[in-house]
Amino acid sequence: MGRKSEDSLLFVIGLLTGAALGALAALLTTPYTGEEVRNKLANRSKEAREKLKELRRQLEEEFSEKSGKLKGEAAERLDTLRKKVDELLDKLETYLS
């Protein structure tokens, strides 16, 4: 796993942990009624879900771009390697004949 991916994962874990602790603190100290708290939690939960969906979409897009780039680079290197091997085989054949 790359350093940037590890940083992203740690960020998400920290974000979720902070959100959970913040929600718990809010529940324990809130002046609102139970129904008001439930409504606020439902709204914030929906917002958090949307943010996580967007983050997942961004990570999937980034992964797709990088994997495509790596595949392209690998194909180029393989092609270069094949050409060099063919050249060496031609030289060897010329040398041996």
Please, what are the averages of pLDDT over each run of 10 residues along the chain (97 residues)?
A: 74 90 83 85 89 90 89 92 93 87
User: What is this structure's pTM?
Assistant: 0.49
**pLDDT in the model for residue 9:** 82
Residue boundaries of the structural domains of the chain: 3-68
Q: What is the 3-state secondary structure (H, E, C) of the chain?
A: CCHHHHHHHHHHHHHHHHHHHHHHHHHHHCCCCHHHHHHHHHHHHHHHHHHHHHHHHHHHHHHHHHHHHHHHHHHHHHHHHHHHHHHHHHHHHHHHC
